[in-house]
Structure 1
Amino acid sequence: MTFTPLIPSSGVAGWNFLQSTYDRQYDAFVQSGQLKNESEYFAEEIGKVTSSDDLLNDRRLLQVAVKAFGLEEEINYRALLQRALNEGTSAKDALANTMNDERYVEFSNAFGFGPGQSPMTSDSKAMEAVVNKFQSASFEEAVGEVDETMRTALFAKRAMLEVFGEPDENDFSQLSVKERALREFDLSMKEINGAIDDVPGVTSVQDQWEDIIQRDTLTDFFNTTLRMPAAASGLEDDELIQAYQDRAKIVFGTDDPTVFFSAENKDVLVAAYKTRATVDGDLPEDIAKTAQLADQILGQMVARDAALNEEWDYISRQEPLVDFMKITLELPDNIESLKTSDAMRVYREKAIEVFGTDDPNVFADAGNLDNILDIYREKAAESGMRNGEISASLRTAETILKFSFSENDVVDDDSLAASETAKIDAGWYSIMGQTGVPRFLQTALDVNTALAPDQTFDELTIEEQLAIYKDKAVELFETDDLSELTGPYQMSTLSDAYRTNAEAAGESEFFITYYSQIAERELNGLFQSDESDADQEFEDALEELRTMNDEDKGPSASSQWFTIMGQQAMTDFMQVALGLPKEVTQMDIDKAVDVYKRKAQEVLGTDKPSEFIAGDKMDDLVNRYLTRSQMNDINSGYSSGSAALMMLRS
């Protein structure tokens, strides 16, 4: 049976999961079914091959060879492959060199049948490399059957490393002057502050409160519910969060939003808010609006954590599973004495470290269960347990996990359309309660065009407003997801739309600028990564180094781009990742390279592909590719005029 790669969600979230579990999934894949047989056959028989005829006459060997170099579609073109092999690559007019396709060069060099070369088929290490490439290409193909964009991203990352080499994390020589300074400064800061141990996927209590204070509706909700003193508004963020947590412990008995806003507790919390707001004399319509918005936003904010905590609470109450997890996850000895919410976070953090996910429905699914059982078996043996005890524990744990969890119940926002819609809606509910954002978005989206002549937007219910916001966003910007709408690719366009409509309505320049600044700041805080602020601080602090990039020496950027453009898949990847229109692929190659270089310089701070693999640039490229691939092929809607305009801006 062939192993099917597991990718529980699309886009960047799915990519991060695939990367965190790559080694285990890849190992399971290459050991499965036909792939294992073909790999073993190639390893056993390739040493007997002494000529291109030997290779071409053995279909099983040839299938591995061509797939290793991405030439599987050429397998029936025997004459072409034989010429590429026999002519080698030393002569300029050799077929492989004239094909304008780096795959043929690599294919020919790998087997060494050309003039003046020695056959490489008896070199076990060289042939092992071919098998590895075959297995990687096969795994990428299997990933593509689940999500094609993931396949392209995997191929691009592998191809870049093969062409330009594995980066040395401690070698700054391939970085620009600016990048070296940034890296050295970053390392210095880490030495001063110590390593940051962020665990992906688990939202801490502190993080949840940091999200809460960014939303005006939620601060109004908790100020009333917790009876916060007016002086609290003057506190710094860390002091304010501590004040909220202290009051929450007194009022709710816990400062954990996942606990006090769980399904069984949230009705009591909302009722407490309504009672205290009524006593304070707030208007009924304002109370209802705040309660509804807070319910929607908080519900989405804690939904995944609350659901996963329930799963882990079930595990923590099954004694065989507790013993199993203690060994497999190397849990601390005091796990059973911790508060339930704290224990759940420890379980989940450890699960991410060991399994690559904190969702039992993922790691306990049939396709992955053998992997976690193997982890337990190995660690139990290391601890000195007897084989009989290990086997008995494995059987019990396997039975409980199999019948308790299912991939159909995966707790993942992005894997279910309904959950994704709820997440998007919660984003719109967040902005409805903000200070300057509603006016900004109502103007930018021109919501009045969706109203009847006798209607005003503020008179509509929250649900009616939500529907208009989303419909107009899709109509004008092809997305109703505020995380996309306010991202680096769309925010400037959104601001331009606001300015155009505000000017047409007679708004003064002062208020246009004022509301733009408020909205952009609040939207960035609500929907964009905190890392962008840190990046900007680095940029501002080292502004004087921006003009020093050209001091680097090395291979010309143009020659490196010609290498990339020798592979269509790499060209397509770069075109999407850099946000270039499809028309660029129709340009003269020299002009196209100039466009790629200018855009790469603008986006990545360098126009040399060999520098893309350094630091976080490769991950940035992949994330950009995945994000743009999810934007409903936005480039396909460009007219030729807009495409030309983009190239001029590049």
Structure 2
Amino acid sequence: MPIPPSLIGGSLPGWAFLQETRERQQATFESSTDIQRNVDGMREKLTQPFTLDELMGDRQLLRPVLQSFGLQDEIDKGAFIRRIISDGPDDPQGFARRLNNTDFIELSRTFEADPDGLIRLSDTEVDNLIQAYQDEAFEVAVGEQEPTLRLALNFEQEIGDLARDAASDRSFWFKVIGSAPLMEVFQAAFILPDGFANLDVDKQADYLQNRAEQQIGSDPRAILATDEGVQTTVRKFILQTQLQNGPDALTPGASALTLLSAGAGFGSQSLSSLILSNAV
């Protein structure tokens, strides 16, 4: 088993602690025997030409490869993954495009075979896959203890590039809507209404744009391309999640909340809102 990360809860202090210690903790995590074995296997097998059959037939390799794309839960869907890759990333009728999932599209693009049926990855591509695997594996390990922090880590890693690379505000929000983890962060951070996911996708994009302008500023895509904008949104997400789940022992003012909420005339919800607002 990999060396688990050390966490102090899913509150804002817990997030700050993880940020301050992540580099050291992830290095320790990556030194675990299981992680290093997978990294060595990826580097050995992916740096030489291989076929799709060879990839699909090597479960020990396929697992970290899928995890590089956040698709580790698909490991037992061999026919499904084979179809994603073999159809290619650009055919509008291909499986990857029809599913409209950026992770599947990138998997298909990365492992697209040449005319000889061989998959050839550059050293840079292999390095990127290994780093993505290590990052995702660490996030999963964090999430096993604190799911809120895993979502925050994923958001921190993905949203900036998405905001910078999008051709327009609308295409940015469409990509966000297609990502369940990103939408879970925005759902809490922007306090989206129940039934939001049932709206037409164009209406979802419009609502997200308007809500983001209210919550973080007049040009949300530009703001989310900055570290400050990302951290502001993550803090809103963590605070709103705390409010929904109830404050923990590390929530600022939690001791006072415990005492005051026991007194007559004080509602715990209003008190928690007051105390948490001072932590923003």
For residue 614 of structure 1, what is the aligned residue in structure 2? 226
For residue 13 of structure 1, what is the aligned residue in structure 2? 13
Write the deviation string for residues 589-639 of structure 1: whole angstroms up to 9, x where unpaired: 1111111111001111145535402151000011111111111259xxxxx
- Pairing of 1:62-101 with structure 2 (within 5 A): 62-101=62-101
Please report how far the alpha carbon of residue 576 of structure 1 lies from its aligned counterpart in structure 2 after TM superposition: 1.1
For residue 595 of structure 1, what is the aligned residue in structure 2? 207
Question: Cα–Cα, structure 1 residues 3 and 138, in superposed 2: closer, same or farther, change >3 Å?
Answer: same
Question: Cα–Cα, structure 1 residues 160 and 115, in superposed 2: closer, same or farther, change >3 Å?
Answer: farther
For residue 241 of structure 2, what is the aligned residue in structure 1? 629
Q: Does 1:577 align with 2:182?
A: no
- Pairing of 1:445-594 with structure 2 (within 5 A): 555-594=167-206
Write the deviation string for residues 233-255 of structure 1: whole angstroms up to 9, x where unpaired: xxxxxxxxxxxxxxxxxxxxxxx
Higher relative contact order (Cα pairs below 8 Å, separated by 6+ residues): 2
For residue 144 of structure 2, what is the aligned residue in structure 1? 145
CA distance in 2, matches of 1:16, 1:568: 24
Bigger drift between 139-148 and 609-618 goes to 609-618
**What residue identity is the alignment partner of 1:45?**
K
CA distance in 2, matches of 1:580, 1:144: 23
CA distance in 1, matches of 2:212, 2:27: 35
Question: Cα–Cα, structure 1 residues 127 and 139, in superposed 2: closer, same or farther, change >3 Å?
Answer: same
Question: Cα–Cα, structure 1 residues 116 and 608, in superposed 2: closer, same or farther, change >3 Å?
Answer: farther
Question: Cα–Cα, structure 1 residues 116 and 597, in superposed 2: closer, same or farther, change >3 Å?
Answer: farther
Question: Cα–Cα, structure 1 residues 56 and 117, in superposed 2: closer, same or farther, change >3 Å?
Answer: closer
CA distance in 2, matches of 1:589, 1:110: 28
When the two structures are superposed, what TM-score results if normalisation uses the length of structure 1?
Answer: 0.36
Please report how far the alpha carbon of residue 117 of structure 1 lies from its aligned counterpart in structure 2 after TM superposition: 10
Percent same amino acid among aligned pairs? 25
Write the deviation string for residues 23-65 of structure 1: whole angstroms up to 9, x where unpaired: 1111110111211111111111223442211111100110011
For residue 474 of structure 1, what is the aligned residue in structure 2? none
Please report how far the alpha carbon of residue 141 of structure 1 lies from its aligned counterpart in structure 2 after TM superposition: 0.6
**What residue identity is the alignment partner of 1:588?**
D
Assess if the C-alpha contact under 8 Å between 1:88 and 1:115 holds in 2. Answer: no
CA distance in 2, matches of 1:37, 1:148: 26
Question: Cα–Cα, structure 1 residues 597 and 607, in superposed 2: closer, same or farther, change >3 Å?
Answer: farther
**What residue identity is the alignment partner of 1:135?**
Q
CA distance in 2, matches of 1:113, 1:163: 26
CA distance in 1, matches of 2:76, 2:192: 35
CA distance in 1, matches of 2:127, 2:179: 23
CA distance in 1, matches of 2:126, 2:211: 38
- Pairing of 1:213-252 with structure 2 (within 5 A): none
Q: State the aligned residue count.
A: 246
Please report how far the alpha carbon of residue 92 of structure 1 lies from its aligned counterpart in structure 2 after TM superposition: 1.9
**What residue identity is the alignment partner of 1:618?**
V
Question: Cα–Cα, structure 1 residues 610 and 120, in superposed 2: closer, same or farther, change >3 Å?
Answer: farther
Please report how far the alpha carbon of residue 22 of structure 1 lies from its aligned counterpart in structure 2 after TM superposition: 1.0
Write the deviation string for residues 549-605 of structure 1: whole angstroms up to 9, x where unpaired: xxxxx8321111111111111111111111212321121211111111110011111
- Pairing of 1:264-283 with structure 2 (within 5 A): none
What are structure 1's unaligned runs of at least 5 residues? 167-553, 635-650
Please report how far the alpha carbon of residue 104 of structure 1 lies from its aligned counterpart in structure 2 after TM superposition: 0.3
Please report how far the alpha carbon of residue 116 of structure 1 lies from its aligned counterpart in structure 2 after TM superposition: 10
Write the deviation string for residues 66-104 of structure 1: whole angstroms up to 9, x where unpaired: 111111111121222112112211222221111121110
CA distance in 2, matches of 1:62, 1:137: 15
Assess if the C-alpha contact under 8 Å between 1:110 and 1:120 holds in 2. Answer: no
- Pairing of 1:251-262 with structure 2 (within 5 A): none
Between structure 1 and structure 2, the one with the greater Rg is 1
**What residue identity is the alignment partner of 1:575?**
Q
Write the deviation string for residues 229-288 of structure 1: whole angstroms up to 9, x where unpaired: xxxxxxxxxxxxxxxxxxxxxxxxxxxxxxxxxxxxxxxxxxxxxxxxxxxxxxxxxxxx
Question: Cα–Cα, structure 1 residues 12 and 586, in superposed 2: closer, same or farther, change >3 Å?
Answer: same
Instruction: Give the match's secondary structure for 2:47.
Output: helix
Please report how far the alpha carbon of residue 147 of structure 1 lies from its aligned counterpart in structure 2 after TM superposition: 0.8
Assess if the C-alpha contact under 8 Å between 1:120 and 1:126 holds in 2. Answer: no
Q: Does 1:155 align with 2:134?
A: no
Question: Cα–Cα, structure 1 residues 9 and 578, in superposed 2: closer, same or farther, change >3 Å?
Answer: same
What are structure 2's unaligned runs of at least 5 residues? 247-280
**What residue identity is the alignment partner of 1:137?**
E
CA distance in 2, matches of 1:603, 1:587: 21
- Pairing of 1:367-378 with structure 2 (within 5 A): none
Question: Cα–Cα, structure 1 residues 161 and 36, in superposed 2: closer, same or farther, change >3 Å?
Answer: farther
